[in-house]
Amino acid sequence: MSRIAVVLFNLGGPDSPRAIRPFLRNLFSDPAIVGAPTPVRLPLAEMISRTRLKLAKANYGAIGGASPLGRETEAQASALAGRLASLRPQDEARVFVAMRYWRPFAEETARAVAAFAPDEIVLTPLYPQYSTTTTESSLGAWSKAYRGPGRQHTFCCYFDDERLAEAHAGLIRRAWETAGSPAGVRLLFSAHGLPERISASGDPYRWQVEQTCAKVAARLGPEWDWRVCYQSRVGPLRWIGPSTTEEIEAAGAEGFGVIIDPIAFVSEHVETLVELDRDYAAFATRVGADPYIRVPTLRDDEVFIESLAQLVIKALADGEEGVRPGAGRCPAGLTRCALKARTA
């Protein structure tokens, strides 16, 4: 029997109105998000968290004052633990959650994992597509925090995992059918955006997002008209595009409604419940993109949980400590990923 600790990583979200400002401060203090030197970055994070607080409070107030991401991640952890118990009944597997910008932080989770004293640890990002701003940042925080026992395995990405694509395709079909199977709708895969300078530096996120979208679209069939777009732009920098609003407007101008799949999000949070469900829905009405259908995030979808479970099993079966991709490797020019750094 082996003692297996699976650590799920996500960004986290404020769990009360009082947590909103410190959450923002933690977010903008991360050098992966704001690349300025520490003496500049920390005061800047304080200023941004203060100036954005009113809008952030209004947005979180619209969804009950807090983010649901924490409780949805705990539900994913519970579902994954149950599936691993079925797949590996001879082992004792526990699933832990480590958030980057709000509780439970990596330091707290690291203490809990060390107390469990695992033989094997599988570091499991809830970011299917790798980015320096998400996966690398979370794994870096874990590396600094964890000092306990256990051989560590990581899958750095799973953007082209077959079950991930199947889970998305299933949710898209169900959302479309629930809306009455309308004709004349364009599928928009909406991912969180990224500044162009980060993407141009060799970050593989954009390429991986596009690969995920192509894989999901292939499962849906050639009759689906689809586009890839990006949301949640912040600040004055140039961001990768096209933006989700641009694609909604284009669809409306061409006589299409839209069905939006949040392709890079695995849990509901303010970007889906406010940006997609309120702001973009209202924008779609103004530009004539009717109907407007929003696909739910993966959450604890059975196929998605099976995807995670099989990736954990694969990481353990590889035997050696280290970083493994969920599936394929990125093109040669996309050098800023954990796998390439470890094998260079």
What's the predicted TM-score (pTM) here? 0.95
Amino acid identity, position 109: T
Mean pLDDT of the chain: 94
Nearest Cα to 325, choosing from 105, 154, 102, 127?
A: 154
Per-residue model confidence (pLDDT) at position 331: 87
The pLDDT-based confidence of 338 (bands split at 50, 70, 90) is low
Q: Are residues 193 and 325 in the same domain?
A: no
Q: Are residues 25 and 43 in the same domain?
A: yes
Residues 6+ apart with CB under 8 A from 286: none
Is the pLDDT at 5 greater than 50? The verdict is yes
Tell me the per-residue pLDDT of 300-330, one tens digit each, with 9 for 90 and over.
Answer: 999 999 999 999 999 998 766 666 655 457 8
Q: Are residues 25 and 153 in the same domain?
A: yes
Mean pLDDT along residues 177-193: 98
Per-residue model confidence (pLDDT) at position 226: 98
Tell me the per-residue pLDDT of 41-92, one tens digit each, with 9 for 90 and over.
Answer: 999 999 999 999 999 999 999 999 999 999 999 999 999 999 999 999 999 9
Q: Are residues 99 and 189 in the same domain?
A: no
Q: Are residues 128 and 31 in the same domain?
A: yes
DSSP 176-243: HHHTT--SSEEEEEEEE--BHHHHHTT--HHHHHHHHHHHHHHHH-TT--EEEEEE---SSS-B-S-B
Nearest Cα to 312, choosing from 6, 3, 37, 1?
A: 6
The pLDDT-based confidence of 344 (bands split at 50, 70, 90) is very low
CA–CA dist 98, 125 (Å, integer): 10
As for how many domains the chain has, the answer is 2
Per-residue model confidence (pLDDT) at position 235: 76
The parent domain of residue 219 ranges over 162-294
Residue 327 sits in a domain of what CATH number? 3.40.50.1400
Mean pLDDT along residues 29-44: 94
Q: Are residues 13 and 135 in the same domain?
A: yes
Q: Are residues 120 and 27 in the same domain?
A: yes
Q: Are residues 152 and 104 in the same domain?
A: yes
Q: Are residues 96 and 202 in the same domain?
A: no
Q: Are residues 237 and 139 in the same domain?
A: no
Q: Are residues 151 and 18 in the same domain?
A: yes
Percent of the chain having pLDDT more than 70? Answer: 95
DSSP designation for 149: -
DSSP 295-323: PPP-TT-HHHHHHHHHHHHHHHHH-SSEE
Residue 148 CB burial class (10 angstroms; 0-12, 13-18, ≥19): middle
Tell me the per-residue pLDDT of 227-244, one tens digit each, with 9 for 90 and over.
Answer: 999 999 887 889 999 999
Question: How distant is the alpha carbon of residue 250 from its chain centre?
Answer: 26
Q: Are residues 287 and 330 in the same domain?
A: no
